[in-house]
Amino acid sequence: MDERRRVLDVLCEDARYTPEDIARQLDLEPEEVAAHVEALEDAGVVRGYTAVVDWAALDDDVVQAKVELNVELDRETGYEDISRRIAKFDEVTAFQLVSGDYDFALEVRADSMNDVSRFVSEEVAPIPEVTQTVTHYVMDTYKDAGIEFEDGERDDRLSYSP
Amino acid sequence: MSYLSERAERTPPSGIRRFFEIAEEMEDVVSLGVGEPDFSAPWPARKAAIEALERGQTSYTSNRGRRDLREAIAAHVTRYGHDYDPDEEILVTTGVSEGMDLAMRALVDPSDVVAVAEPAYISYGPDASFSGGEVLPVPTRAEEEFRLTYDALERAGAERADVLVLCYPNNPTGAVMGSDGLAEVASFAREHDLFVLSDEVYAALTYDGEHDSIATLPGMRERTLVFNGFSKAYAMTGLRLGYAMGPPEIVGAMNRIHQYTMLSAPTTAQAAAIEALQSCDDAVADMREQYDRRRRFVLSRFREMGLDVFEAKGAFYVFPSVPGDDEAFAEDLLREAEVAVVPGSVFGEGGTGHVRVSYARSLPELREATDRIEAFLAAER
């Protein structure tokens, strides 16, 4: 595996690793790591860094939903055109074109179920090309961005063993 | 009057017991004293164990272990250049620990001499003593990266030994030995007619090239028992499963003792082991990759602290030298910085002045622990 890819893999494991931490793990110089990360960012491979949050653990009410979206294209309008209009909404946290029974998969986050349904019915559904929406509220999250949300497997190993 | 046997009376408590008790009283210890993986056994292996229980497979197996397991082991070890007959040359044991004990009982008479390359896993000496053997430590040296050499054997007077125990990749040092180094040891063993017990339980955890086994060198197969198991590579320590491979008459003798003392290795664990051998190579490769990154991380951190540490290329240990007495260092580090490491002298003479640091921990924990060690060293200086 090439060096840049190895840096990317370690970065995906924990984006808060410092260049020094990554360098130590891969036998590189911190400057080399920093250069790889910069190149990944410049090339648009790494698009940003964020926290992985278990919203249910927060006292504030946060509601997440997955929304399936069907659209009808015409000669003037392609997926790209529709996607540009939908991606700009702050409520949309993830947005992908998918294969299968529907066209787009959206992830929506808002303060209440009302806010989510208002957003879908007032902002998304009225878009002329949109023919159908199906909203699934997230009931519980077990894993996100590779991180399991269960209360950590306890390390029950002895502190000393031969 | 004591009811205890002389043998029990002279068996010392394990050198890490005292540290364990101190650590038990403390709240926030980051332990680098662990001698086992932080991973769980790969899921397919665990599932096989669960399914075996669901099917009601709770009876004994044949003394030597399930035949399909022995066949799978025979096929597995061809990767190390081994060729053993599953019927007569492989014995499935309750961990390598049982295998080592059986080997000593099968090979060692009272007053026989058992040479042990040190630093070494803590059981070899007591195992030899239980059979009445005399233990002859063969210290290896930090400047030779803790490899066993012809000279080291000569210096220790190992020509008078009957049995030689070695373990590479090594616990506690992380040292590995390639075929050139092993060839020296093999010459010594052939010249002085030593039988070799080669503990290769960390064989799958080598980070620079392939594992070499002394048993594959010319004239060694007939005088070597190879021990391996599932504890380290497959993260199955608690399932207690290992195996011994060697000449039929020796393995047969071990099996005769085993049938009285153990009957058979744990049945549930054998089901897990078959699945592990059949489908878990990728899982082992992933764990090895993780260990390798942590290994590099801790080695760099110790070098940044100015500690002398050789580049350990196997197992999941590094073995830095520490200022002053290693036991006092480990105790102060535990009490003041709340980091647990094992003093090197626990593993015999060759380990004095070093500590064993296990990197079977997550990277954030290793970062925290090494930061604490760095601060501790700075305060001491």
- Here the ipTM equals 0.86
Same domain, A38 and A70: no
* Residue A1 pLDDT: 65
A99 domain-assigned: yes
Cβ–Cβ contact B300 with A under 8 A: yes
Percentage of chain B lying above the pLDDT 90 cut: 96
CATH number for the domain harbouring residue A73:
3.30.70.920
Q: What pTM did the predictor assign?
A: 0.92
Kindly report the nearest CA distance between residue B293 and chain A, in angstroms: 4
Q: What is the DSSP pairing of strand B113-118 with strand B134-139?
A: parallel
A21 domain-assigned: yes
Contacts of A157 in chain B (CB under 8 A): 31, 34, 36, 38
Kindly report the nearest CA distance between residue B366 and chain A, in angstroms: 11
Residue by residue, DSSP assigns A91-105 as TEEEEEE-SSS-SEE
The single-letter code of the amino acid at B365 is E
Same domain, A61 and A135: yes
Q: Exposure of B314 by Cβ count < 10 A (0-12 exposed, 13-18 middle, 19+ buried)?
A: buried
Same domain, A38 and A72: no
Rg, chain B, Cα only: 20
Note the helical H segments in chain A: 3-13, 19-26, 30-42, 79-87, 113-119
Count up the domains in chain A and report the number. Answer: 2
Structural domain boundaries, residue A119: 55-140
A135 domain-assigned: yes
Is there a contact between B363 and A14 if contact means CB atoms under 8 Å apart? yes
Residue located via tokens 């665990």: B46
Contacts of B294 in chain A (CB under 8 A): 25
Is there a contact between A162 and B364 if contact means CB atoms under 8 Å apart? no
Is there a contact between A159 and B33 if contact means CB atoms under 8 Å apart? yes
Cβ–Cβ contact B95 with A under 8 A: no
Interatomic CA distance for residues B326 and B354, integer angstroms: 6
The single-letter code of the amino acid at B270 is Q
| Mean pLDDT of the region B90-109 | 98
- Tens-digit pLDDT string for chain A (162 aa): 699 999 999 999 999 999 999 999 999 999 999 999 999 999 999 999 999 999 989 988 899 999 999 999 988 889 999 999 999 999 999 999 999 999 999 999 999 999 999 999 999 999 999 999 999 999 999 999 989 888 766 788 999 998
Contacts of A13 in chain B (CB under 8 A): 363
Contacts of A159 in chain B (CB under 8 A): 20, 23-24, 29, 31, 33-34, 340
* Residue B349 pLDDT: 83
Same domain, A28 and A85: no
Contacts of B301 in chain A (CB under 8 A): 24
CA-closest candidate to residue B352, choices B149, B177, B172: B172
Same domain, A69 and A126: yes
Same domain, A29 and A89: no
A151 domain-assigned: no
- Residue pair B121/B332 in contact (Cβ under 8 Å)? The answer is no
- Give all strands (DSSP E) within B89-205, no chain letters: 90-93, 113-118, 134-139, 163-167, 195-199
Is there a contact between B297 and A162 if contact means CB atoms under 8 Å apart? no
Cβ-nearest to A162 among B24, B121, B296 = B121
| Mean pLDDT of the region B17-30 | 92
Tokens at residue B352, please? 């004095």
Contacts with A152 (C-beta within 8 Å, 6 or more apart), sequence order: none
Task: Give pLDDT tens digits for B116-169.
Answer: 999 999 999 999 999 999 999 999 999 999 999 999 999 999 999 999 999 999
Is there a contact between A21 and B342 if contact means CB atoms under 8 Å apart? no
Same domain, A60 and A129: yes
Query: Residue B133 gets which letter from DSSP?
Result: P
Task: Give pLDDT tens digits for B220-251.
Answer: 999 999 999 999 999 999 999 999 999 999 99
Write out the H or E segment, with its range, that includes residue B76.
helix B67-76
A96 domain-assigned: yes
Kindly report the nearest CA distance between residue A24 and chain B, in angstroms: 5
Read off the pLDDT band of B280 (50, 70, 90): very high
A147 domain-assigned: no
A161 domain-assigned: no
Interatomic CA distance for residues B161 and B117, integer angstroms: 12
* Residue B365 pLDDT: 95
Residue B180: what are its φ and ψ, rounded to 5°?
-65, -50
All structural domains of chain B, each given as residue ranges with its CATH number in brackets, are: 6-41+282-380 (3.90.1150.10), 43-279 (3.40.640.10)
Task: Give pLDDT tens digits for B92-101.
Answer: 999 999 999 9
Cβ–Cβ contact B203 with A under 8 A: no
Query: Residue B254 gets which letter from DSSP?
Result: H
Is there a contact between A162 and B23 if contact means CB atoms under 8 Å apart? no
Kindly report the nearest CA distance between residue A14 and chain B, in angstroms: 10
- Helices B248-261 and B95-107, interaxial angle, to 10°? 110
Is there a contact between A24 and B35 if contact means CB atoms under 8 Å apart? no
Same domain, A69 and A111: yes
| Mean pLDDT of the region B339-364 | 96
Contacts with A156 (C-beta within 8 Å, 6 or more apart), sequence order: none
- Residue pair B341/B317 in contact (Cβ under 8 Å)? The answer is no
Is there a contact between A157 and B40 if contact means CB atoms under 8 Å apart? no
Task: Give pLDDT tens digits for B41-89.
Answer: 999 999 999 999 999 999 999 999 999 999 999 999 999 999 999 999 9
Kindly report the nearest CA distance between residue B189 and chain A, in angstroms: 28
Is there a contact between A162 and B363 if contact means CB atoms under 8 Å apart? no
Cβ-nearest to A27 among B31, B296, B342 = B296
Kindly report the nearest CA distance between residue A53 and chain B, in angstroms: 18
Write out the H or E segment, with its range, that includes residue B276.
helix B267-279
Tokens at residue A16, please? 């808060």
Tokens at residue B362, please? 């997550």
Is there a contact between B20 and A158 if contact means CB atoms under 8 Å apart? yes
Kindly report the nearest CA distance between residue B187 and chain A, in angstroms: 31
* Residue A152 pLDDT: 61
Interatomic CA distance for residues B202 and B316, integer angstroms: 9
* Residue B243 pLDDT: 98
B210: helix, strand or coil: coil
Task: Give pLDDT tens digits for B175-210.
Answer: 999 999 999 999 999 999 999 999 999 999 999 999
Same domain, A14 and A82: no
- Helices A3-13 and A19-26, interaxial angle, to 10°? 120
Same domain, A63 and A121: yes
Tokens at residue B97, please? 């620990």
* Residue B14 pLDDT: 85
Is there a contact between A14 and B121 if contact means CB atoms under 8 Å apart? no
A145 domain-assigned: no
Same domain, A71 and A136: yes
Handedness of CA B164, B171, B305, B25 (dihedral sign): negative
Is there a contact between A14 and B364 if contact means CB atoms under 8 Å apart? yes
Is there a contact between A160 and B340 if contact means CB atoms under 8 Å apart? yes
- Residue pair B75/B281 in contact (Cβ under 8 Å)? The answer is no
Same domain, A65 and A123: yes
Estimate to the nearest angstrom the gap between the alpha carbon of B88 and the chain centroid: 24
